């Protein structure tokens, strides 16, 4: 299926966000709200009923405009994250920022509870927040597949608690933790088929991954695009994996052993980063 689609591979731009190193850095990114005014025919300013959300360090860049929007600061989430860490023993695995507008904190268990395909998998809780109205405050459960050789990961989200930006945060994270303990026990039945999002999604992910490889002068598929397609189909055929999981396994194999595919080292971090954005549904 991947090899048949190679000629129609679409080049798309951009993967993921910027990595934040610490929770302190995460907490230091703050937003504020400004009232917006209108000018009437007489040149007088009147209230509009709307408020703009801007970053404290970039007040001229409007992130969001709304009438009933309550900013949840990143720093408000840090004590909750610390409590979750204390209860679970999870480490902060990764903190991401998308242009200082949308944020994700991934907490990951330190011991692999199961294997997905050939790879170890770890329980995880992902905390999301945004300053631009693009996502709600959420605490999502899931599992992380850790690729042993190069450290790349991919996450399968399952469920969680969600709160809209219409009131001050009041997340019942104690309930989340209790539910997560039940979920962790259920992970014993998880396998690679749990990551099957369908062939259409797999082909979309394939196009996104191969977008990092440049077009050739003759407009032929890049050799590494063909290599990824072939390796993916081998994973599906030889291991019985669903298409999306086979693609993920193929891509992680290429980043772990780039010399097998004649892949320049400059492509390794690009493909690793792209892997973390593979959608599993």
Please check whether residues 205 and 252 belong to one and the same domain. yes
pLDDT beneath 50, residues of the chain? 9-16, 147-152, 281
Domain-embedded: residue 173: yes
Please check whether residues 93 and 179 belong to one and the same domain. yes
Domain-embedded: residue 22: no
Q: Of 161, 191, 221, at which residue does a domain stop? A: 191
Domain-embedded: residue 119: yes
Determine the pLDDT at residue 13: 34
Please check whether residues 137 and 166 belong to one and the same domain. yes
Please check whether residues 203 and 268 belong to one and the same domain. yes
Determine the pLDDT at residue 14: 36
Please check whether residues 229 and 262 belong to one and the same domain. yes
Per-residue pLDDT reduced to its tens digit, 42-57: 777 777 778 889 999 8
Please check whether residues 106 and 62 belong to one and the same domain. no
CA distance 104 to 239: 33
Q: Which H or E run contains 166?
A: none
Please check whether residues 185 and 80 belong to one and the same domain. yes
Domain that holds residue 252: 2-15+194-275
CA distance 133 to 164: 9
Domain-embedded: residue 20: no
Domain-embedded: residue 253: yes
Residues paired with residue 121 on neighbouring β-strands, in sequence order: 114, 145
Domain-embedded: residue 281: no
CA distance 281 to 278: 9
Please check whether residues 59 and 153 belong to one and the same domain. no
Please check whether residues 121 and 179 belong to one and the same domain. yes
Please check whether residues 204 and 186 belong to one and the same domain. no
Query: How many structural domains comprise the chain?
Result: 3
Per-residue pLDDT reduced to its tens digit, 160-185: 677 777 777 666 777 777 777 766 66
Q: Of 191, 223, 251, at which residue does a domain stop? A: 191
What secondary structure letter does DSSP report for 140? E
Please check whether residues 128 and 156 belong to one and the same domain. yes
CA distance 280 to 142: 11
CA distance 262 to 15: 23
Please check whether residues 97 and 181 belong to one and the same domain. yes
Residue 144, helix vs strand vs coil: strand
């Amino acid at each position: 299926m991947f090899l048949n689609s190679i000629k129609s591979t679409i080049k798309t731009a951009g993967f993921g966000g910027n990595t934040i190193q610490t929770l302190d850095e995460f907490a230091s990114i703050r937003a504020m709200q400004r009232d917006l005014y209108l000018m009437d025919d007489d040149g007088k300013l009147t209230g509009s009923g709307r408020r703009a959300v801007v970053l404290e360090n970039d007040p001229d860049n409007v992130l969001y405009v709304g009438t009933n929007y309550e900013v949840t600061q990143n720093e408000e989430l840090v004590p909750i994250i610390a409590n979750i860490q204390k209860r679970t023993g999870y480490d902060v695995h990764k903190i991401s920022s998308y242009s200082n507008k949308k944020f994700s904190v991934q907490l990951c268990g330190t011991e692999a509870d199961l294997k997905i395909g050939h790879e170890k998998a770890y329980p995880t809780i992902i905390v999301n927040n945004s300053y631009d109205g693009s996502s709600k405050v959420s605490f999502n459960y899931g599992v992380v597949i850790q690729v042993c050789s190069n450290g790349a990961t991919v996450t399968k989200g399952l469920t969680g608690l969600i709160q809209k930006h219409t009131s001050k945060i009041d997340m019942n994270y104690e309930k989340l933790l209790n539910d997560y303990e039940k979920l962790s026990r259920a992970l014993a039945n998880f396998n690679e088929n749990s990551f099957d999002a369908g062939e259409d999604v797999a082909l979309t992910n394939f196009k996104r991954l191969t977008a990092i490889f440049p077009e050739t002068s003759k407009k032929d598929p890049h050799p590494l695009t063909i290599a990824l397609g072939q390796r993916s189909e081998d994973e599906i055929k030889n291991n019985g994996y669903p298409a999306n999981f086979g693609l993920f396994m193929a891509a992680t194999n290429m980043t772990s052993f780039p010399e097998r595919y004649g892949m320049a080292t400059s492509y390794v971090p690009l493909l690793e980063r792209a892997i973390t954005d593979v959608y599993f549904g």
